[in-house]
Structures are given as structure tokens and as C-alpha cells.
Amino acid sequence: MSDRVKLFIYTDAKTHRVLFTKRSTKFNFLVGIQGVYVHILSSRLELPEIKPLTQTYQPKAGLKKASSKLSKPEQERLGVLRRKVEIVILVLTSLYIMRDEIKASFTKSVLENTPISSGSFKKYWLFVAEEKKLLFARLQKFRKNFSTAVNAAETLDQVDALYEHMRFNVNLGVYSVMNRERKGLHGTKS
């Protein structure tokens, strides 16, 4: 395992003010939010502490203190972008954990411990490979749809409502890919 730390710096595309930062040694937190640039610093050394909204960052200019105060509408706009980044990072973290759990659950060493006859194991292995593919497709589809919804949100209330809805009402069903989805993979109707 690498001891390199990646520092993700999320900046406003218009003002270059730092909205948020995230450190990680394992995952890539590329958020894909309209109006937000993502810069990645990677080092084995200590990375700088950054104070959101009080500093700007540009690749050539580096980290600088923000020169002017923000107007009320600009504060609100940056607040919405900042919240979008926070929420997408929370969701990405969950999706990365789910992806790792799926990979770990469908390894050959785990599946070999399944009490099944050797003659049926090949069919079982093919079923599991299809199940894993469907689960990854479901995660990818959710990520795409969630990103689209986050980008469409324009106010802090809309962003928060989207996150609350997702938190309490969305079940990705990591181990419950539906039969109709499985049939759809083969081009048959449910």
C-alpha cells in the first residue's frame, strides 16, 4: 500500500476560491460537478492546510489568500457548490465501499467455500459473474443519475433535500439485483 497522500482541492470555476478539500490514500474523489474544478496534489510529504473560501488555488499561481470579500449572492452560490461537493464525496465514499464489498464477496476463494457440487460450480460461477456485473452496472447508473440530479439543484434547500431523499429512500440493493434486470441483460422481457 502506498503512503502517498492525495489532496483533492475543489475550487469554484469563476473565482478559483477553494470550496472544499479531501485527503485520501486509496480513492479518487473526482466529483464531476458543473462549475467546480478538481485539482489533485500528491505527495509523501506533508501537504498544506487549506482554509475553504478564504483562499484561492490555481495550478500555475498556487495557493493564495483570497483578495476580496464576497457579496451575499456570491456567498450563497459558493455555499451551494460547497454543499454539492460535500454530498457527492459522501455518496462516492459509500459507493467505493460498496464496490469493494462486492469485489470481496465474489472472489474465487469466497465462492469455493460454497457447498455446491463440482458439476454445478461452473454454472454457479457464471451466475455469480453475471450478478457481479449487474451490481457494478447498478452502482454506475446510480452514480450517473445522482450526479445529474446534483448538477440540476440550484439552491441549498434543493441540494439538502436531494441528499435526504437519497439517504432515506434509495436502496441500491447490493445483493438484490432483480430477476427482471437479469432477464433484461439477455434481451428477454420480465
Non-local CB neighbours of 117 within 8 Å, separated by 6+ positions:
none
pLDDT of residue 88: 93
Residues 166 and 91: beta-carbon distance below 8 Å: yes
pLDDT of residue 13: 96
Per-residue pLDDT tens, the chain, 190 aa: give them: 457 889 999 999 999 999 999 999 888 899 899 999 999 999 887 878 898 999 999 999 989 999 888 999 999 999 999 999 999 998 888 888 888 888 888 887 877 777 878 778 778 888 888 888 988 998 899 889 899 999 999 999 999 998 888 777 666 554 444 444 444 544 444 3
pTM of the model: 0.78
CA proximity to 4, closest of 40, 32, 34: 40
Interatomic CA distance for residues 125 and 121, integer angstroms: 6
| Nearest 10 degrees: Cα torsion 10, 13, 15, 20 | -10
Pairing of strands 18-24, 5-12: antiparallel
pLDDT at 148: 93
Cα torsion angle, 140, 161, 97, 93, sign: positive
pLDDT for the residue numbered 21: 94
Q: In 61-189, which ranges are E strands?
A: 62-65
With H, G, I as helix, E, B as strand and everything else as coil, classify residue 4: coil
pLDDT value at position 170? Answer: 63
Please give the Cα distance from 190 to 131 (Å, whole number): 17
- Report the C-alpha gap between 12 and 55 in whole angstroms: 11
